[in-house]
Copies of this chain bind each other. A is one copy, B any other.
């Protein structure tokens, strides 16, 4: 059987994969970054055991990525930083998505009991 901490880490991973694949591809410009950040955070906070989500989309990177034919770009991992806190029974897991070697990486930051 899985330990409580292992179960908590599984739950944390589910939230990360959900957030990423639900919202990747969303049309975005500097005019719509704040509303998308808030909707992403509040939507994933609905999921069980998820106590806190922060999403920061980088307006400058969005502006640089814009397709000037269309006037917008699509959300990808390279345009945002995400942190999450999951609480499962007595275990707290914190996770972060950030760039590493040019690619977005989802990381376990801490698992504490």
Spell out A's residues near B (CB within 8 Å): 1-3, 5-7, 9-22, 24-29, 31-32, 35-36, 38-40, 42-48, 67, 69-72, 74, 76, 95, 100-103, 105-106, 108, 110-111
> How long is the Cα–Cα vector from A13 to B105 in the complex, in angstroms?
14
Report whether A27 and B13 are in contact in the complex, using a CB–CB cutoff of 8 Å: no
Collect the chain B residues with CB atoms within 8 Å of residue A110's CB: 1-2
- Cβ distance A112 to chain B, nearest Cβ, rounded Å: 10
Given contacts A69-B101, A111-B6, contact A32 B13 (CB under 8 A): no
Collect the chain B residues with CB atoms within 8 Å of residue A100's CB: 69
Given contacts A25-B25, A39-B38, A39-B39, contact A46 B71 (CB under 8 A): yes
Report whether B48 and A71 are in contact in the complex, using a CB–CB cutoff of 8 Å: yes
